[in-house]
Amino acid sequence: MKIETIRHSLSHIMAYSVQELFPGTKFGIGPAIEQGFYYDFDLPKPISDENLPKIEAKMRELIKQDIKFEKKIVSKKEAKEIFKSQPYKLELIEELARVGPVSIYQSGDFVDLCRGPHVKSTLQLHSGQAPYKSFRDYTGQAKEIIDAFKLTKIAGAYWKGNEKNKMLTRIYGIAFKNKKELENFLFKLEEAEKRDHRILGQKLELFLFDEEVGAGLPLWQPKGALIRKIIEDYLYEELGKAGYQWIITPHIGKENLFQTSGHLEFYKENMYSPIEIEKEKYYLKPMNCPFHIKIYNSKIRSYRDLPMRLAELGTVYRYERSGTLHGLIRVRGFTQDDAHIFCTPDQSGGELISLLKQAIKILKDFGFEDYEIYLATRPEKYVGTIKIWQKATNSLKYGLEKLNLKYQIDPKGGVFYGPKADIKIKDSLGRPWQCTTIQVDFNLPEAFKLNYIDKKGKKQRPIMIHRTPLGSMERFLGCLLENYGGALPLWLSPEQIWIIPVGSRHKKYAESVRGRASDAGFRVKLKSEAETVSKKIREAEIQKIPYLLVVGDKEMKSKSVRIRQRGKGDIGEIKIDKFIEKVKMEVEKRK
């Protein structure tokens, strides 16, 4: 039996339990989802997580009762009678029954509008004493289900996902084939929760959101801003070496610019309403491209100028529904490590290869070596000719194959202006995160009538490539935090070393150690507050400080330090010069 069938059947049993425990509940919908199921309820009174064990117990009680799932096909009129006290179901009947009769499932006193399939009886979710011979083949698997599901959380969900509708109570459950799978999943979930970047961001004081500022608009606190600066410095250096030139462009631009670029035609639902100044409309930029084009187009370019690589840490604003916002991963204002490459058609293949190489090098430097690559092809709505699309798709393919990169095709997943290669990095729990994108574009050069003068002195149209290896500073910091559980590698840690004098007589020596490490370029803090050493060590653990140097009599005498390394504890005494050498190496290796 398919696990989805079991999950969907459990959602009915959950609804049945809710009906028993909270009479008067109105029912929304309850599908199976990845790893489990949910059901949306309009409850007579609000409930909280504390109610979940009670609902779960009721479910187990019902499962043991050999409750049948009986399918019936009824007319629209009959269905309306059956669900006369269920407004949400009536709404669904109106939609479904336009084409004819509807199917319902009855289990005990609970009846639901549903296409199925379902288990035949709840005994299939529990071995019990299955009375049916035909059940023999799955009783082995089924007997464990009763212990292999769990209700996990309560959340608000608008009816039909529309914020204009009433907010219903959604109860989520998870269900697996057996208890072991459930336990594995719960373990992973617990790990993931510990790594939740929203919690870490708060604990480590990296970033925050403020109700009055607005949802999805992160405020970077000093330590978060410092990490960002470290990443930015890294990018300046890497891209500088690769022949990029840095530019800076404004956050808003006039209507006409976005009309020419096609954003107002193809991307308007993601843009904010215009601001009117001196009778002209300005839009917050959702992308940096049109601005970069203006710099390219500010003078006549020769083939000798190409490829021209213009990079910007460009802040863009996109409208995302409030329900989809998620910490730093999905926000409304964010800074892309953006760049646009203008090149001749002949150069585009080579550029794509170096871009793929560069993206993978950058991800590796940040500790991501496991990824999934997708080649997204021509969508339904597109600009340009099929021939030019084929050519660009082939260059991307060629690049991926040349570098021996495994990839999957994402059919019709390209942007309207060209195909793209996306890289999803996998974090230490194996979860994929979409970061890198490399997109070929033949629309914008056409729309803005971009040219370069070729060898023969003739005007030619360049190809444009959009690319961002990290995606955005916001999302990337979120991924980094979750991947490392907040314990960032030394080179990225906002505070790298704390120095802890054992007593007040060691303060002077501690200060000299601080000076040495700070002169060597490290971010150091002297912890000389009148608190116990063990308290400071605990604080450092919470703050995920990579190195603690404890100095007392012995260390003072021998000009050394006692090292406590994050995750390892005390690793012994070492001369201060040796320590600096060690950590310098570590930073160089970006470990």
Residues forming the active site: 289, 318, 336, 338, 340, 420, 466
Report d(CA 201, CA 589) in Å as an integer: 25
Q: How far is the CB of 190 from Zn ion (least distance, A)?
A: 30
Angle at 197 between CA 196 and CA 202, to 5 degrees: 110
Please tell me the count of residues contacting Zn ion according to CB under 5 A.
3
Nearer to Zn ion, 285 or 466 (CB): 466
C-beta separation of 216 from 320 below 8 A:
yes
User: Are 501 and 509 spatial neighbours (Cβ–Cβ below 8 Å)?
Assistant: yes
User: Quick check: 464 binds Zn ion (CB under 5 A)?
Assistant: no
29 vs 154 by CB, closer to Zn ion = 29
Q: Binding to Zn ion by residue 466, rule CB under 5 A? A: yes
Taking each helix axis from N to C end, the angle separating 3-21 and 52-63, rounded to the nearest 10 degrees, works out to 110
| Residue number, 289 or 341, with CB nearest to Zn ion | 289
Given the rule CB under 5 A, which of 190-198, 298-306, 463-471, 540-548 is the region that contacts Zn ion?
463-471
Residue closer to Zn ion, measured from CB, 35 or 127: 35
Please, which of residues 154-213 interact with Zn ion by CB under 5 A?
none
What distance in Å separates the CA atoms of residue 27 and residue 43, rounded to the nearest whole number?
Answer: 8
Stretch 288-327: interaction string toward Zn ion, x if CB under 5 A:
-x--------------------------------------
Can you name the residues that pair with 415 across neighbouring β-strands?
A: 418
243-262 per-residue burial string, b: 16 or more CB within 10 A, e: under 16: ebeebebeeebeeebbeebb
The answer to whether residue 527 forms part of the interface with Zn ion (CB under 5 A) is no
Of 67-75, 111-119, 135-143, 582-590, which part binds Zn ion (CB under 5 A)?
111-119
Which residues have CB under 8 Å from 190's CB, separation 6+?
none
Q: Which residues contact 234 (CB under 8 A, 6 or more apart)?
A: 365
Nearest approach in angstroms of CB 430 to Zn ion is 30
- Closest of 28, 16, 9, 113 to residue 55, by C-alpha: 16
- Does 47 interact with Zn ion (rule: CB under 5 A)? no
Both structure tokens of 283: 């839009």
Rounded to the nearest 5 degrees, what angle is found at the Cα of 156, between the Cα atoms of 153 and 327? 80
Q: Which residue type does 209 have?
A: F
Examine residue 114 and tell whether it contacts Zn ion (CB under 5 A). yes
Least distance in angstroms from the C-beta of 467 to Zn ion: 8
**Three-class SS state of 24:** coil
Q: Are 480 and 527 a contacting pair, CB within 8 Å? A: no
> Residues 230-269: x/- map of binding to Zn ion (CB under 5 A)?
----------------------------------------
Question: Nearest approach, Cβ of 423 to Zn ion (angstroms)?
Answer: 17
Only one of the segments 79-87, 114-122, 181-189, 490-498 lies at the binding site for Zn ion (rule: CB under 5 A); that segment is: 114-122
Token representation of residue 32 = 């199976």
CA angle 326, 331, 337 (to 5 degrees): 125
Tokens of 584: 């310098």
Choice between 68 and 590, CB closer to Zn ion:
68
Give the shortest CB-29-to-Zn ion separation in angstroms: 8
Contact 288, 316 (CB under 8 A): yes
Which residue's Cβ has the minimum distance to Zn ion? 114
Comparing CB distances to Zn ion, the nearer of 382 and 484 is 382
Helix (H) or strand (E) holding 179: helix 179-194
**Measuring CA to CA, which residue among 454, 585, 448, 562 is closest to residue 506?**
562
Minimal distance, residue 339 CB to Zn ion, in Å: 8
Name the phi and psi angles at 231, rounded to 5.
Answer: -65, -40
Tell me the closest approach of the beta carbon of residue 340 to Zn ion, in angstroms.
6
CB of 8 to Zn ion, least distance (A): 6
- Rg over alpha carbons for the chain, rounded to the nearest Å, is 30
What string marks each residue from 377 to 396 as x (binds Zn ion by CB under 5 A) or -?
--------------------
Nearest to 399 by CA among 430, 372, 373: 373
Whose Cβ is closer to Zn ion: residue 4's or residue 573's?
A: 4
Nearer to Zn ion, 114 or 561 (CB): 114
Residues in contact with Zn ion by the rule CB under 5 A: 114, 289, 466
